[in-house]
């Protein structure tokens, strides 16, 4: 996969591969200011918790680039822009983590000039991006241990290159297996309403020559019953201190179905996805997105006009349905209570 998040320091622009048009067309979305970044995140030009975080980092750089140093209020203005970025999506914790980290860096030198801050942030945003890719590769290696003999993996949504800095969490494990010469096949659940599985997971695996087949979300139980699924492997948007995991709507469905069929259910996520401030899944805010995503597929209307719809973007999978977490620091096995904190501290 080519890089899908491209920041240019020379002209202070952020180019994003627009995921709304995939797989039909490869269009690029140009961000020059914070408003563009907000739009890119809210309209799902880029989605996926780690990718959102990376874009937020570069977004802070754009915020700095579009702030006027001669204005005596430039610091307040910049801070206000950072808040806007941090609040553009509610569920993924990576977004808050990255904005926090940019803010922390600034606070180490509160009297820094705007041009020096720009320079510092540029380095930091790239570092966050590169760290993500390295973390995913490390995570992929740990995932291999767990996968064992599994050759057919069901995944949900897109926890791949397009959801991260460029390698993938759940699909990072798949890429690691492929690199290791394993014979691995992926079933991509199509993931209504936004169809990230059908559109994005299938796209990036097909590009990387990894065997992939798309299934409607409705087919999951049948495929498990038929023995076509050795393991379920998903990403995460936020993991609470007790292990409850928010991820794309439909993940909780799959966790229950996997549990019933005694199929391991793995969550692959960088440690930045853990949110120790959030005690349990009950405390994770679940984003509700526009009805249009359900009532239409592309330009095709699929519900009668006027009929209301549900569009919760995420659900929470209780920790006790999760077989293990795969992180860049290693694997966390149940019981998770306490173990998560200890594990993260250790790293």
d(CA 14, CA 59): 8
Looking at 106-114, 131-139, 262-270, 308-316, which segment touches a copy of itself (CB under 8 A)? Answer: 308-316
Binding mask 55-94 for a copy of itself (x = CB under 8 A): ----------------------------------------
Closer CB to a copy of itself, 7 or 252, in the complex: 252
Tokens at residue 216, please? 């409607």
Q: Residue 140: is it exposed, middle or buried by C-beta count within 10 angstroms (0-12/13-18/19+)?
A: buried
Nearest distance in Å: CB 217, a copy of itself: 5
d(CA 336, CA 5): 34
Among 72, 110, 181, 298, binds a copy of itself (CB under 8 A): 298
Closer CB to a copy of itself, 55 or 195, in the complex: 195
- 37 Cβ contact partners less than 8 Å away, ≥ 6 residues apart: 14, 31, 55, 56, 58, 59, 62, 85, 88
Per CB under 8 A, contacts with a copy of itself among 235-294 are: 248-250, 252-253, 256-257, 260, 294
Binding mask 192-221 for a copy of itself (x = CB under 8 A): xx-x--xx--xx--x-----xxxxxxxxxx
Choose, from 36, 237, 244, 315, the residue flagged as catalytic: 237
d(CA 156, CA 217): 9
If you search the block for the tokens 């952020």, which residue do you land on? 14
Nearest distance in Å: CB 122, a copy of itself: 35
Residue 201 phi, psi dihedral angles, 5° rounding: -60, -45
Residue 76 phi, psi dihedral angles, 5° rounding: -60, -40
Closer CB to a copy of itself, 66 or 311, in the complex: 311
The yes-or-no answer on residue 36 being catalytic is: no
If you search the block for the tokens 């430039």, which residue do you land on? 74
d(CA 162, CA 51): 7
Residue 181 binds a copy of itself (CB under 8 A) = no
d(CA 179, CA 210): 10
Nearest distance in Å: CB 187, a copy of itself: 8
Residue 101 binds a copy of itself (CB under 8 A) = no
d(CA 347, CA 342): 9
Looking at 67-75, 76-84, 183-191, 330-338, which segment touches a copy of itself (CB under 8 A)? Answer: 183-191
Is 220:251 a contact under the CB 8 Å cutoff?
Answer: no
Q: Which residues bind a copy of itself (CB under 8 A)?
A: 23-24, 187, 190-193, 195, 198-199, 202-203, 206, 212-223, 225, 248-250, 252-253, 256-257, 260, 294-295, 297-312, 315-316
Catalytic residue positions, numbered: 237
């Amino acid at each position: 996969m080519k890089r899908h998040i491209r920041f240019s320091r020379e002209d202070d622009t952020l180019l994003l591969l627009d995921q709304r048009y995939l797989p039909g067309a490869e269009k690029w979305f140009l961000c020059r200011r914070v408003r563009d970044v907000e739009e890119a995140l809210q309209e799902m030009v880029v989605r996926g918790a780690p990718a959102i975080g990376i874009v937020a980092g570069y977004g802070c750089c754009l915020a700095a680039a579009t702030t006027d140093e001669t204005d005596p209020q430039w610091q307040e203005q910049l801070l206000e822009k950072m808040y806007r970025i941090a609040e553009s999506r509610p569920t993924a914790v990576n977004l808050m983590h990255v904005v926090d980290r940019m803010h922390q860096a600034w606070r180490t030198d509160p009297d820094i000039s705007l041009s020096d801050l720009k320079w510092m942030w540029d380095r930091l945003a790239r570092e966050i991006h590169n760290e993500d890719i390295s973390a995913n590769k490390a995570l992929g290696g740990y995932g291999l241990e767990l996968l064992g003999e599994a050759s057919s993996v069901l995944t949900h949504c897109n926890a791949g290159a397009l959801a991260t800095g460029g390698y993938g969490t759940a699909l990072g494990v798949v890429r690691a297996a492929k690199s290791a010469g394993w014979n691995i096949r992926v079933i991509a659940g199509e993931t209504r309403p936004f169809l990230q599985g059908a559109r994005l997971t299938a796209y990036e695996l097909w590009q990387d020559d990894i065997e992939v087949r798309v299934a409607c979300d409705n087919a999951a139980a049948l495929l498990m019953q038929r023995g076509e699924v050795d393991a379920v492997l998903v990403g995460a948007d936020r993991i609470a201190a007790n292990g409850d995991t928010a991820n794309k709507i439909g993940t909780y469905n799959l966790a229950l179905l996997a549990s019933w069929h005694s199929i391991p259910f793995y969550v692959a996520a960088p440690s930045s996805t853990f949110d120790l401030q959030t005690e349990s899944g009950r405390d994770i805010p679940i984003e509700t997105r526009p009805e249009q995503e359900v009532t239409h597929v592309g330009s095709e209307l699929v519900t009668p006009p006027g009929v209301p719809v549900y569009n919760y973007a995420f659900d929470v999978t209780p920790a006790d349905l999760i077989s293990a977490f795969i992180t860049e620091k290693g694997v966390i096995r149940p019981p998770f209570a306490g173990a998560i904190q200890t594990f993260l501290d250790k790293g």
